[in-house]
Structures are given as C-alpha cells and as structure tokens.
Chains A and B, each alone.
Chain A
C-alpha cells in the first residue's frame, strides 16, 4: 500500500510538470488576448505529430524535435493570430470562441487527412527505461521513475521558468503584460497591439507544440487527442487563477494529485467528474483561483 502511494506520488509530480506545460500556453493567450483558444488542443496534437514524423521518417531523437515543433507551432500561431483572429479580436467573446472552435475542427481534419486516423506512438529505444527507488529485493518491487517522464518534467519546468523570465525581464514581455492589462493604455504608450497579440498567441502555440512533443513520448495518440488536453488546460487555468505562471503550476500540481489519487481509488471511472467537482468547489470558495488575481 505504501509502495502504491509512493509510486502514485511520483506519478503525480511527474505528471504535474507536463500538465503545467499543457496549460501555460492556454493561460497566456486567455490572460492577455482574452481569447479562450479552443484550438489549443489541436496545437498540442500538431506538436505530437511533428515529433512523430521527425522520429519515424528521419530517425531524429524525439527530444531533439522539441525545438522544431516549437518553431513550427510558433509560425502557425503567429499566422493564425495575425491573419485571422486579429480581425475579430474586439468582437464579443463568443465570436473568438466560435472561430477557434472552427479552427480546431479544421486542424483535426487536416491531421486526419495527412496522418490518417491510426493510433501512433513514439517509442525510441530508451522508452520506458528508468531507475527504481526503495527497491525491495524480497518482493522485487520499488518505486519506478521513468527517464522519459523525468526529462519531460524538467523540460516543462525549464520552459515555464524561461517564460517567466521573458515576461518579467524583457521589453517584449512587458509589452505583452501591458497589453494584457489594458490594450488601449498600452497602445497610447506606444505598444503596437496587433503584433503583440500575434506574438503572444505564437508563444502560446509554441508551448503547446512542446507539450505535444513530450506527450507523444508518453502515450499513444491520434488526431482527436487534443480535446482531452484542452479540457485539462481549462480546468488547470481556472484552478490556478488566470494569468499567473505560478498559478498554472499550482493548478497543474493539484490537478495531477487529484487525478492520480482518484485513479487508484474505486472512484476511477469518475475521474473527469471529480476534476470538475473540484473546479466547482474552488470557484465557490475562491472565485479568482488558488493564486488569486494576477496578471502577465
């Protein structure tokens, strides 16, 4: 039992890093652009397929494909924001909601067309290898820590830290924050809003691309994989409080812990239900999220 709990705790910690990365891009787009990007899951899916293609067709190590999918998704994100969403950015929320919903459908079906509906998996030779903590020779059991998940955890935290530094220390990052706080005031102070929006959206997409690359190493996927992650991103962002990097990490950690603990309990079939119940409870007690109200 102790072993099961210990393993679950390790699972939860490793999962939380990946989930934080899934939610980060969603969070900055929502926080700065006030756009709930329903195509976020598709960006993650595209990241996974870019890694899959580079790995299966060119034999590239999956971890080395992360910069490729980040760059590709950055460009896709910039293009979509500058070319499409910026046109309706001042329209009511429902318009961008519908637009990104439509984009999601288009991207999923494009992926179905290009890669087919097959379930794919990225399995380099070292997939599944790891080391064991607290190994008990009598039962031959211990707490298993897989290398791939550990690396994914580290990369997620690194990217979160890099984003934090970018947002707080660079001119561009501060321009993004200013635009997020008040786009008219930012414009009056000389910030060009449209390119700033495009840049923010592109960064969000690039983070989704990185998340997709990492996810492709951990589980099988198909073009419909994004929906589940969009939902998780939404829950995590609302849990942690909109527009705060530490908030996203906290939200992800809480989500991962609950997810894993419910998973080993008899409530396992109700996992998604429990996650939403948690969301409702947090919204009742702390309507602005766990980390309170903050802004990029």
Chain B
C-alpha cells in the first residue's frame, strides 16, 4: 500500500468514527432516564508489580463501596441521585505509568474526579498530574510527607503521615516497660521509610531512649543478616523496622537464623497485614505492627457502614477474607468524596475541592478531617501477633482485644 492510500484510508476511518460519534452521541444521552446521572471516578492502582497485593486491597475497597453505595441509590447531588462508576487501570506499581494513566483518565476518559494509587511513589507522580489539570484526588495509599509539602491544592490523603507511624508502637512498649533503654532502627532506602525512620528516631530521643544502631540498607535487599549481626552486637531492647512487608518478614526470619533477640519488635508496614502471619507462621509471634485501621476499632460513622465491624462483614461477604487497612483507607477516600459532593451539591472540581478541605465527618474509618496540606489527622492503632497465630489490636486501650505481651521471649525459649 502506498503511503498516500494509507493516509486516505486512515482519514476515511477517522471520518466514519467521527460521524458515528455525532450520530450515536445524542442517542446515548437520550437512553438515560430523565434526570439520572453518573459520577465517574478514575484511578490507577498497582494490580501487578511490587505492591500488587496492596493494590488488590485498594481496588477491592473501591469496588465494594461503589457497589454498595449504588445499591442504596448512589450519591446525592443537589436534588438528584447519581450512580457512581469507576474507571480503573493497572499502574504496575510504577510511578511513571501511574502519572501517564492519570493523564489518560483526565484527558481521554474525561472522568469527574480522581481516586489515588497505592504507594508514596505512584501517588507522588500521579498527584502532580491531578494538580496540572486541577482535578481533586483523594488517595488511600501514600503516606510520605513529600506528597503534601509541594503546596498542591488537589491532593488529599487518608493515611497518617509517615513520621508518625512508629510513635504509637513506641508508646505502647514504654507503657509496659518504662526501663526499656536501647533501640535499633533498620531503614529501607526509600523516601517513605526514611520519613518513618526520621520521625521514629526523633521520637525515640524525645522519650529519653538511646538509639544504639541506625542503618539504611538498599531497597529490595534479599539478605539482611549482616545488618542484623551488627545489631546483635549492640544487644538492643527494641528493634524497629522502617520498611515494607517483605523486609519485615526478612528481618524476623533472619533474626532467628542468627539468634538476634529483642524484648520488642515493631515495623512500620507488614505485620498489620494477614500475609505476615501466613508467611512467618509462629515466628510472627510477639511482633508489633501499626495500622490506621483495624476491624476491632470503635468508631461510629455517618456512612453506609457506620462501624468498622459492619464494614469488615460486608468485605468478608464479598471477598471471603477480612479487610486490611488498605481496603478501609480506599473506602474512606470515596466516602470523603461522597460527603464533599453532597455538601457542594455538585461534582464541579473546584466546589468539591473546597468542601474536601473543610471536611470533618465521623466514619467507620474514624474522623475524616484533612490538615491544611491535605493529609488526614489520625492516630495509629497497634496490633500484635499472638501465640495462637492470630493478630490482635492491643492499642488504643478502648479497642484493645488483648493486652500487649512483653517482653518477647528469646528464640531459644519459644
């Protein structure tokens, strides 16, 4: 085929397409029953790649809430009720892909509003696109403060800031043992973990504890036994990990290998997901994790679930397992939009953004209120793995299912 005829047939196809658009568009609109409307959210979530599991939880949360809210008639916008739809893509856990897909969602798919990806990296780049097109995004999975310190108006997050992650775990340990003195800190080399570690290190010092070991290691490390050997030489009371799930498992597995003991173990991310216990078996016992949400917490909310327990039931009925905080956080982002849209009486991005900034509602996820930079104001709960192989909420006191076990026995005595 010559290039000329190729161009000609391309133009012909294009003309047909455009013509079809003109002919079909009014018909499609007419098919809507009078007054009914649809609000379309766009999201790019990691369904494959490094954080595929977390991404799956987030997608489950979005899907569950949107299905449930549509059953009840959808969102109230002014005087009418609108069905809610979600256009979702896989960002492959890659920040660049995430940004590209958000651009596509806004310019091609013309979604009304944006839900966030999972992970500080993808959220960081995706939110820059949201800001560029001035479309508000509420995100469930990025806790790094660097997302919120760029002066953006359109980004809101439902995870507490990374620097506060380990504080409640440190408090819980000190409440049990005021004499605990020495702390070792293991830090994955990524921006989120670095912020967690900086926050934890400052808090450790403020509480009069001594940081005897603090070391970064490369992201994706497969063998951490040499760092743990150095920690063993310092014999700390408390070992803290600022990292993600795989690292938390690696630390516990190899700590046992080389006989590193501590009175308490706590990690920023990992122990609060069921996989941690599944992967480690009894070696997960006594480990502490922090989480913004567990099904045991006692909140009373003005949303379709109302309590953490009822949300957990709804989730379990659909997916066959209890939700992790990722799923709860994802649902909270859509609830934030629901409340803001209802208060604004429209889906106009500027109006919704103004209401999000003012938002203050109780929900099954706790109080939804954003600080001026856009990140939620929320304390973390503490969980611990028990000898019976289950994970229990041990802090805050009003929601504790079991007391904190302290100190953790040495490996040889287990």
Residues of A within 8 A of B (CB): 1, 3-4, 7-8, 11, 15, 109, 112, 116-121, 123, 127-128, 130, 132, 139-142, 144, 146, 148-149, 215, 218-220, 222, 224-225, 227-229, 259-264, 266, 268-272
Contact = CB atoms under 8 A, between A and B. Distances in A.
B232 interface: yes
B291 to A, nearest CB: 17
Contacts of B195: none
B226 A260 contact: yes
Contact of A117 (B50, B220, B235, B254): B50
Contacts of B406: none
Contacts of B257: 128, 130, 144, 146, 148-149, 218
A286 B232 CA distance: 37
Contacts of B283: 123, 127-128
Nearest to A263: B226
A11 B232 contact: no
Nearest to B234: A4
A128 B250 CA distance: 12
Contacts of B256: 127-128, 146
26 contacts: A7-B258, A112-B48, A116-B56, A117-B48, A117-B56, A118-B52, A119-B53, A119-B249, A119-B275, A120-B279, A123-B279, A123-B283, A127-B256, A128-B256, A128-B411, A132-B259, A141-B235, A218-B223, A218-B254, A222-B50, A222-B246, A224-B50, A261-B226, A268-B227, A271-B217, A271-B221
Contact of A268 (B52, B217, B235, B281): B217
Interface of A, helix, strand, loop or mixed by DSSP:
helix
Interface in B358-387: none
Contacts of A116: 52-53, 56
A123 B253 contact: yes
Contacts of B48: 109, 112, 117
B350 interface: no
B229 A271 contact: no
A262 B224 CA distance: 11
A270 B215 CA distance: 11
A11 B225 contact: yes
A277 B366 CA distance: 50
Contacts of A140: 410
A142 B233 CA distance: 10
Given A116-B53, A117-B49, A219 B232 contact: no
B259 A130 contact: yes
Nearest to A6: B229
B34 interface: no
A263 B227 contact: yes
A114 to B, nearest CB: 13
B90 to A, nearest CB: 11
Contact of B232 (A7, A120, A229, A261): A7
A128 B215 CA distance: 24
Nearest to B261: A140
B230 A263 contact: yes
Contacts of A11: 225-226, 229, 258
B276 to A, nearest CB: 9
A116 B49 CA distance: 10
B280 A123 contact: yes
What 7 pairs across the A-B complex have the smallest Cβ distances?
Answer: A263-B226, A117-B52, A128-B256, A144-B259, A121-B279, A4-B233, A269-B216
Given A123-B281, A219-B253, A4 B229 contact: yes
A70 to B, nearest CB: 21
Contact of B253 (A15, A218, A268): A218
Contacts of A118: 52-53, 275
Contacts of B49: 117, 224
Contacts of B279: 119-121, 123, 220
B249 A121 contact: yes
A148 B81 CA distance: 62
Nearest to A119: B246
B94 interface: no
B208 interface: no
B233 A1 contact: yes
B26 interface: no
B71 interface: no
Given A116-B53, A119-B53, A264 B232 contact: no
A270 to B, nearest CB: 8
A141 B218 contact: no
Nearest to A260: B226
Contacts of A120: 279
A118 B250 CA distance: 14
Question: Which one of A112, A121, A139 has the highest number of Cβ atoms from chain B below 10 Å of its Cβ?
Answer: A121
Contacts of B246: 119, 220, 222
A228 B220 contact: yes
A134 B222 CA distance: 28
A3 B260 CA distance: 12
B218 A269 contact: yes
A224 B218 CA distance: 16
Contact of B254 (A139, A219, A259, A269): A219
A261 B218 CA distance: 15
Question: Which one of A7, A119, A259 has the highest number of Cβ atoms from chain B below 10 Å of its Cβ?
Answer: A119
B222 A264 contact: no
Contact of B52 (A112, A229, A262): A112
Contacts of A141: 232, 235, 259
Contacts of A215: 222
Interface in B33-81: 48-53, 56
B245 interface: yes
Question: Which one of A120, A128, A149, A269 has the highest number of Cβ atoms from chain B below 10 Å of its Cβ?
Answer: A128
B229 A142 contact: no
A268 B226 CA distance: 9
B230 A264 contact: yes
B189 interface: yes
Nearest to B281: A123
A18 to B, nearest CB: 9
A146 B226 contact: no
B271 to A, nearest CB: 13
Given A112-B48, A141-B232, 9 more contacts: A117-B53, A123-B283, A127-B253, A141-B235, A218-B257, A219-B223, A260-B229, A263-B230, A269-B215
